[in-house]
Amino acid sequence: MPDMTTSTPDRARTRFPGISSRAYEHPADRSALVALRSLSGFDIVLRKMSGLFNERAFRLHFLAGSVRVGDNQFRHVHDMVRDTCYILDLAEVPEVYVKQDPNPNAMALGSDRPFLVITTGLLDLLDDEELRAVVGHEVGHILSGHAVYQTMMQILLQLGTRLAWLPLGNIAISGIIIGLREWFRKAELSSDRAGLLACQDVDASKRVLMKLAGGIALAEMSTEAFLEQAREYDAAGDVRDGLLKFLNLLPQSHPEAVVRFAEIDRWARGGEYQRILAGEYPRRDDDGRASVTEEMRNAANSYKESWERTADPFIGKVRGAADAAASAAGGLFDRIGNNRRDG
């Protein structure tokens, strides 16, 4: 097993001028974001509504009870965030706060002026290259606008719970929540890719997920064994295990660590990562011309490919219905596109 306890020496990294978040977004995440961005004025409405959560109060809370990163406090974190924004071409470097909390975590908060929060537990757990991957993950959330849209989704969820007393309300609300959480999980996969683009160290991105699952003792872990663990989880045991996996996942906002590990491994080896490094990526100047129809079709195809790839026996049982749904969705998107062209 290769030694994973040491950091990659500091080195020049490829910068991505004008990169669009569409370059790294998971198809299911990207289709939703492109659709929302295509609605004229929707971002403005979202930002106004997110004010209901009082972004200023959040910032004041961390300003009062955490350490604001800068030239004189946690300088290495400050430099890392600045460099990450330079690599991913985020014009405004967000404020960063370090919060005393033994639980390893990081988050991007706010919409008008997004800022990052990193816990001391995460700083203690990760080396510099691994931390760079996490910082890139959070900057990816900002570039994609996840914080803005997820705030809106939280508003809808709160409104929904108040309406749950209506007849069939619980069933309808549960369906919405399931869909939203599935989007959130795909958004996490998108940001894992942004983290890899920021650190440009596949091993470091993998180590983050291994440490989040098993702690700091990397000498006791193996990347090959962890990937095999991901394969075993994917295959499950029988249909009952597949159903239990599905039910366990429903309330979660993040995919399981082994799933994220396998996904970043697949993306790093699949060619798309190398093309971006070579400068072949969509630019944000073209975001306004992105096709909702095309992105929704890509999302449907992505799900279909994942169903075909998985060894999960539960998915195997429902694959026929899933493929039919994906094909129907693709046909619908084609008809929509043709109607638009005819009009």
In this structure, are residues 181 and 21 in contact, taking their beta carbons and an 8 Å threshold?
no
In this structure, are residues 94 and 142 in contact, taking their beta carbons and an 8 Å threshold?
yes
Annotated active-site residue in 25, 130, 138, 188: 138
- The DSSP 8-state label assigned to residue 70 in this structure reads S
Which are the contacts of 280, defined by CB distance < 8 A and separation ≥ 6? none
Active site residue 182: no
As a whole number of angstroms, the distance between CA 175 and CA 25 comes to 24
As a whole number of angstroms, the distance between CA 132 and CA 126 comes to 9
Helix (H, G, I), strand (E, B) or coil at 115: strand
The end-to-end CA distance of the chain, in Å, is 60
As a whole number of angstroms, the distance between CA 202 and CA 192 comes to 11
Tokens standing for 289? 């011309």
How many C-beta atoms lie closer than 10 Å to residue 132's C-beta? Answer: 28
Tokens standing for 195? 């983290």
Active-site residues: which are they? Answer: 138
